Structure 1
Amino acid sequence: MLSPSQKSAKNEFNRVALVGKFQADGIEGHLIDLAQMLSDLGCEVFIETATATHLNLSSHPSKSPAEFAGSIDLVVVLGGDGTMLGIGRQLAGSKVPLVGINMGRLGYMTDIPIQDVKEVLPKIIGGEYEADSRTLLDAIVLRGAQIINRALALNDVVVNRSGTSGMVELAVRVNGSFMYNQRSDGLIVSTPTGSTAYALSAGGPILHPRVAGILLAPIAPHSLSNRPIVLPEDAVTSIEVVDGREVIVNFDMQSQTELQSGDKIEVRQSEKSITLLHPRGHSDYKTLREKLHWNEYPSTF
């Protein structure tokens, strides 16, 4: 139950859309509870169209992400970071902020545990939050002079080989300047947000979300002198497939394009961004400490 003070508080966000990872066990019940809680707070609640369709939810009106701009004040994402990545790309540039609620595993972006929702979400609805802007990457895939695909990525753009083929050879240029020819399993171009994803597994550094940079991290390079590098935010990285079989380019590991020798991928920072809202007192360092199991010692000061 909500307290009288929570019910009577003036809301900063009045039109709220719910997005759920509809494959997750128990998601329907959690979404219904969230919708009821938001309604009790005086919010007008909508269910994202795909979520409503897959879960057969008809208790509230539905809207597609393309309709959110101008008609939705806040999006609440229930699931994990993968769900946030998918909806984040769709809402990039819309100026509609997102809140992430995780379903049991600590997420980097979906950082509110489901058991804390009744305490935390009303405060955010009422205006008690910390805002966090995240950049995206804009990538185009060129075959000769023809653009065969264009996509946004909130985490990373990854050029890599299939699991059964040999190494791929890539020629990399930055702002037109030749960097290297690299033989490896692939190359990751990452935002600061994505630095804690695949790039971290490939040995890349962790970038704070407010760092204005783009990370290049090779995947199992043939030469150990090929190291991760952080480029300035205005860098345009061109990656040409020189040689290799079954080479693909992935965008946030959620969509992909098959590549041929001679294809090029041009990656730059997008003009679009998204805004994540966190509870007051949110700490990126606490999230890293808990997610990566860094050592903790009692504070003496």
Structure 2
Amino acid sequence: MPTPDSQKTIALAVRHNTAGIDDPVTRVVRYLQDAGHRVVFESETATHVQADGVPAMAIADIGQQADLVIVMGGDGTMLGIARQLAPYAVPLVGINQGRLGFITDIPIERMLPALEEILSGKANAEKRTLLEGRVMREDAVIASGLAVNDVVVSRGTGAGMAELKVTVDDCFMYNQRSDGLIVTTPTGSTAYALSAGGPLLHPTLPGIGLVPIAPHALSNRPIVIPETSVIVIEIMSGRDISVNFDMQTFASLQHGDRIVIQRSPNTITFLHPPGWSYYDTLREKLHWNEYPSIEGKLTK
């Protein structure tokens, strides 16, 4: 049983409408309570997951009171919680109940042994940077957002190409005609940016990636710039152009609007069990250890 000094307040955030989630949640709650820790549910989780003796707590209160947040879901669930908790520096642990699991990396069959290792002080901690952006119309801020993965400026479905003027640290980079532009953190380099042909960036790399989406000029290639950079994307022409922050969309952009993007002063901390490796994650999720067999099936 923990002493008062070692007892922790641990919050659980669980993805909505996940089939079969009740049993894993119950096992995690029972394990934590048996270990003497105080367990709370994030308030939205409490509306769809029930457990005896587990109170609900708002995100702001979790940020101020919790020692650890366990996220049970997919990467999208983790992104949403991470954005909300970024100002509070509360460490996060991800248990994968989704499909891919780049940042919710603990498989559900190993969740209790992994939690035991992490809570015993054997965690592998890593910090991830975020981006913050604001939409400027003349001199007024009309929207803002925070992104763990990426900020994406893109044209609407059925619309023609967008023309975007891009400057970095007040230096003109290019006018680009394309379907859009992805501004990515190292964390987001394995997401949409990867699908658009961008490079993989190690999470500890102090860089920001700019990845064009289907550019008209094939010479417009992805580039990685310093994380201290301030990026301004101005809408020059195009219809139905939107900007989204981790897929949270603001769609009412006009010609002349500017999206100003830079590194956020906040970071998020992920905790992993000992022995965790980013390269192991890449190898598993990107199937780097699989090769075509003679019969056409993948082999390891």
TM class by shorter chain equals over 0.9
Match of 2:287 in 1: 293
Q: TM-score, normalised by structure 2?
A: 0.93
2: CA distance between counterparts of 1:277 and 1:153? 19
Secondary structure in structure 2 of the residue aligned to 1:230: strand
Structure 1 gap ranges (5+): 1-6
Decide which of 207, 211, 214 is 2:208's aligned counterpart: 214
Q: Any conservation in 1 of the 2:242–2:249 contact (CA below 8 Å)?
A: no
Tell me by how many angstroms 1:256 deviates: 3.0
Identity across matched positions, percent:
54
Return the alpha-carbon distance in structure 2 between the equivalents of residues 261 and 13 of structure 1. 55
User: Residue 137 of structure 1 aligns to which amino acid in structure 2?
Assistant: L
CA contact (8 A) 2:42 2:62 kept: no
CA apart distance, 1:54: 3.2
Partner of residue 294, structure 2: none
The structure 2 residue matched to 1:77, chosen from 51, 56, 71, is 71
Q: Which string of whole-angstrom CA distances, capped at 9 and with x for unpartnered residues, describes residues 5-28 of structure 1? A: xx6799956110000001211223
Pairwise CA distance, 1:141? 0.4
Counterpart-to-counterpart distance in 2, 1:57 and 1:266? 44
Asked if 1:172 is matched to 2:190, the reply is no
In the aligned structure 2, how far is the partner of 1:35 from the partner of 1:101?
13
Q: Matches of 2:157 and 2:11 in 1, distance apart?
A: 39
What secondary structure does 1:22 align onto?
A: coil
Q: Secondary structure at the match of 1:93?
A: helix
Give the match for residue 23 of structure 1.
17
Q: 1:271 aligns with which of 253, 265, 269?
A: 265
Q: CA deviation at 1:176?
A: 0.7
Task: Mark the CA change 1:248 to 1:82 in structure 2 (over 3 Å): closer, same or farther.
Answer: same
Matched, 1:157 2:151: yes
Count of matched residue pairs: 291
1:238–1:104 CA distance, 2 compared to 1 (3 A): closer
SS at match of 1:182: strand
Question: What's the counterpart of residue 4 of structure 1?
Answer: none
Aligned equivalents of 1:53, 1:222: Cα separation in 2: 47
Per-residue deviation, 1:296: 6.0
Are the equivalent residues in 2 in contact too, given 1:11–1:125 (CA < 8 A)?
no
Measure how far apart 1:41 and its partner are. 1.2
Superposition CA RMSD, Å = 1.8
1:36 to 17, 30, 46: 30
Structure 2: distance between partners of 1:10 and 1:279: 24
Query: Once structures 1 and 2 are overlaid, which stretch shifts more, 163-172 or 54-63?
Result: 54-63
**TM-score normalized by structure 1?**
0.92
In the other structure, the counterpart of 2:199 is 205
Q: Deviations for 1:49-84, whole angstroms, at most 9, x for unmatched residues?
A: 011013355641111111123310000000011000
C-alpha separation between the residues in 1 aligned to 2:5 and 2:33? 12
How far the C-alpha of 1:136 sits from its partner, in A, is 0.3
Q: Distance in 2 between matches of 1:157 and 1:151?
A: 9
